[in-house]
């Protein structure tokens, strides 16, 4: 797709981008293990960093399906005592940050629906780029939607007779959707895991006690003492039912350009996870080393904006020889998606989340390493707190290149005019932030730090080159606005 082409995309004033990249979601599935819901619950704790708006678990004993869901962190949404109400050897789980659809009870996943073939539950990570046209079609046919998420499109496809009665219903359904998706689906007796043909979002397969575990990140397997087997391949469906799991390719598998989200390495994934074949910590170390080579500076101390800046700060220190210390202390009882309720509260928000150790910064020339800059106002507040603590010089180093373009594949910064690098030069950003120097990672430095070729990653938020065309009106609240319902006819 040509650079910057986003036909039909309009800005919705209701959508406001955060000062940090917002996560997609975390998904997992368990098959063939007693007390599967308990394993899913523990596994979701390991994925809590990927979403803190809501959580849900669905389980089956082979005959009936039960579910528990709620808003908030996992510990708030589901109490451990409630797991006794989720018996069975099959389970799927989800922790959500809403990249499509607002924060409301109806949108909590896994979605559970009953159709002609029984009850099915689905947990989805990613964004579907043709969701609006598919929703328009099914509404024109009389379908009733219960949520404003793009994930619900998948269950409507499953219920459509032309796909429901096909030889391979999951494969037929997934061939109709476009964009980014890693997902797990279950009915009363089976579990299905799948990944889109571009491989945008990670999904891994592990083995435990004669059964199987599927999860967004391998840190889940470490917690559960499961053995990591492999990644679910782009364009692959893995079905767990009776006997050996059935693996097959579907749709455009092998024909689509591999477009793995490089932001998994920069920010989303935990540093102890293996993503796309490499431990995240190692990649972030190399990002920090690259920054030290590209943007050297004379300074007294290096420290990170925790937590995603920790590994690159270590890499910067090792390469530059500047001592590493802790300049910011993070309040771990405030989640990644914490937002003050109203007013001009950016400075207060920073002080609640981060506190400066004055002895580390006072009178010092400091190098601060952060993962990315989205809008810049929170970053500006961080710099202000360092100046107040007596920092003599502040040199900011950023693990990611400037974010100049919107993402339509599962990261919640959908409008270029709300991205500081979309409107300002690096020099203007430096002046806005009030730092003595600002050094971003180059795109070339980024791709040299990750395994595989540049062509195997999605870099659209940096370059504007979109691997999957987006022609529909796409933003977080696209499913909640009134729009013209399409005419009855063939699926788009």
Domain range 279-334+345-457, CATH class: alpha beta
Q: What is the pLDDT of residue 253?
A: 74
**What is d(CA 377, CA 479) in angstroms, rounded to the nearest whole number?**
29
Confidence of residue 106 (pLDDT cuts 50, 70, 90): confident
pLDDT digits (tens, 9 = 90+) for 284-315: 999 999 999 999 999 999 999 999 999 999 99
pLDDT single digits (tens) 24-36:
699 999 999 999 9
Give residue 414's pLDDT.
58
Cβ-proximal residues to 287 (8 Å cutoff; 6+ apart), any chain: 265, 266, 311, 312, 315, 399, 441, 445, 446, 449
Tell me the sheet residues that pair with 231.
204
Distance CA 454, CA 447 (A): 6
Is the confidence at residue 484, as pLDDT, over 60? no
Q: For residue 81, is pLDDT > 90?
A: yes
Query: pLDDT band at 328, cuts 50/70/90?
Result: very high
Residues with active-site annotation: 25
The reported pLDDT for the residue numbered 19 is: 65
How far apart (Å, rounded) are the C-alpha atoms in residues 404 and 401?
Answer: 9
Whether the pLDDT of residue 156 is over 90: the answer is yes
Average pLDDT over residues 110-125: 95
- Given this model, what pLDDT does residue 474 score? 56
**Is residue 232's pLDDT more than 70?**
yes
* pLDDT bucket at 97, cuts 50 / 70 / 90: confident
Lowest average pLDDT, out of 62-71, 317-326, 342-351, 456-465, goes to 342-351
Cis ω for the linkage preceding 307 (within 30 of 0): yes
Average pLDDT rounded to a whole number, residues 312-321:
98
* pLDDT in the model for residue 347: 55
C-alpha span between 133 and 123 (Å, rounded)? 21
The mean pLDDT value of the chain amounts to 88
Confidence of residue 16 (pLDDT cuts 50, 70, 90): very low
Average pLDDT over residues 241-258: 85
Does pLDDT of 1 surpass 60? no
Which of 203-212, 229-238, 340-349, 461-470 is predicted least confidently? 340-349
pLDDT digits 0-9 by tens, 258-281: 999 999 999 999 999 999 999 999
Is the four-CA dihedral 101, 104, 110, 114 of positive or negative sign? negative
99, pLDDT greater than 60: no
**What residues have CB less than 8 Å from 444, skipping those under 6 apart?**
none
- Output 469 or 85, whichever has higher pLDDT: 85
pLDDT digit string (tens) for 452-461?
999 999 999 9
DSSP-based three-state secondary structure for 41: helix
Give the whole-angstrom CA distance, residue 343 versus residue 340: 8
> In Å, what is the CA distance from 192 to each residue of 28, 30, 195, 295?
11, 10, 10, 46
Is 90 exceeded by the pLDDT of residue 430? Answer: yes
Average confidence (pLDDT) over 65-81: 96
pLDDT of residue 490: 44
Residue 417 binned pLDDT confidence (cut-offs 50, 70, 90): confident
pLDDT score for 289:
98
**How would residue 18 be classed by pLDDT, with cut points 50, 70 and 90?**
low
Q: What is the pLDDT of residue 243?
A: 76
What is the pLDDT, as a whole number, of residue 348? Answer: 65
pLDDT at residue 6, as a whole number: 45
CATH 3.40.50.2300 for domain 25-259, yes or no, is: no
Residue boundaries of the structural domains of the chain: 25-259, 279-334+345-457
Q: Is the pLDDT of residue 213 over 60?
A: yes
Q: Using alpha carbons only, what angle is made at residue 125 by residues 56 and 78, rounded to the nearest 5 degrees?
A: 10
Q: In the prediction, which pLDDT does 323 show?
A: 98
| Confidence tier at 351 by pLDDT (50, 70, 90) | confident
Q: What is the mean pLDDT of residues 359-372?
A: 98
- 87-101, 341-355, 428-442: which is most confident: 428-442
Can you tell me the mean pLDDT for 161-179?
A: 94
pLDDT value, residue 9: 39
């Amino acid at each position: 797709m040509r650079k910057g082409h986003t036909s039909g995309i309009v800005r919705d004033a209701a959508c406001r981008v955060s000062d940090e990249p917002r996560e997609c979601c975390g998904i997992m599935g368990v098959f063939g293990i007693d007390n599967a819901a308990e394993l899913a619950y523990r596994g979701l704790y390991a994925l809590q960093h990927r979403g803190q708006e809501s959580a849900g678990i669905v389980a089956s004993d082979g005959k009936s399906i039960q579910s528990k869901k709620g808003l908030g962190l996992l510990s708030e949404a589901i109490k451990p005592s409630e797991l006794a109400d989720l018996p069975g050897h099959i389970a799927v789980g989800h922790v959500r940050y809403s990249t499509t659809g607002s924060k409301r009870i109806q949108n909590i996943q896994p979605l559970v629906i009953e159709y002609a073939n029984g009850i099915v539950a689905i947990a989805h990570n990613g964004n579907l780029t043709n969701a609006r046209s598919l929703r328009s079609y099914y509404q024109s046919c009389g379908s009733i939607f219960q949520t404003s998420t793009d994930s619900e499109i998948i269950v409507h496809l499953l219920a459509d007779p032309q796909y429901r009665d096909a030889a391979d219903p999951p494969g037929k359904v997934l061939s109709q959707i476009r964009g980014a998706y890693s997902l797990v689906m279950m009915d009363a007796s089976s579990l299905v895991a799948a990944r889109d043909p571009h491989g945008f979002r990670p999904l891994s397969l592990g083995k435990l006690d004669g059964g199987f575990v599927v999860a967004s990140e391998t840190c889940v397997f470490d917690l559960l003492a499961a053995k990591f087997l492999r990644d679910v391949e782009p364009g692959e469906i893995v079905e767990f039912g009776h006997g050996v799991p059935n693996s097959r390719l579907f749709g455009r598998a092998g024909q689509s350009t591999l477009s793995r989200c490089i932001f998994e390495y920069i920010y989303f994934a935990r540093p102890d996870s293996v993503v796309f074949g490499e431990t995240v910590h190692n990649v972030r170390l190399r990002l920090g080393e690259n920054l030290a080579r590209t943007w050297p500076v004379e300074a007294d101390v290096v420290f990170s904006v925790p937590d995603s800046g920790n590994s690159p700060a270590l890499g910067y220190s090792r390469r530059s020889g500047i001592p590493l210390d802790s300049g910011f202390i993070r309040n771990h009882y405030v989640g990644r998606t914490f937002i003050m309720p109203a007013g001009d509260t950016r400075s207060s928000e920073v002080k609640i989340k981060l506190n400066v150790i004055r002895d580390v910064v006072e009178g010092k020339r400091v190098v601060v390493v952060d993962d990315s800059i989205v809008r810049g106002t929170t970053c500006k507040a961080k710099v202000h707190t360092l100046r107040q603590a007596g920092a003599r010089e502040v040199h900011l180093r950023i693990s990611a290149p400037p974010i100049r373009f919107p993402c339509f594949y599962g990261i919640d910064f959908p409008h270029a005019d709300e991205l500081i690098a979309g409107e300002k030069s690096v020099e203007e950003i430096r002046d806005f932030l009030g730092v003595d120097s600002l050094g971003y990672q180059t795109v070339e430095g980024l791709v040299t730090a990750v395994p595989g070729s540049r062509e195997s990653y999605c870099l659209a938020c940096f370059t504007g080159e979109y691997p999957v065309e987006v022609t529909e009106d796409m933003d977080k609240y696209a499913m909640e606005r009134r729009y013209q319902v399409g005419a009855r006819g063939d699926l788009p």
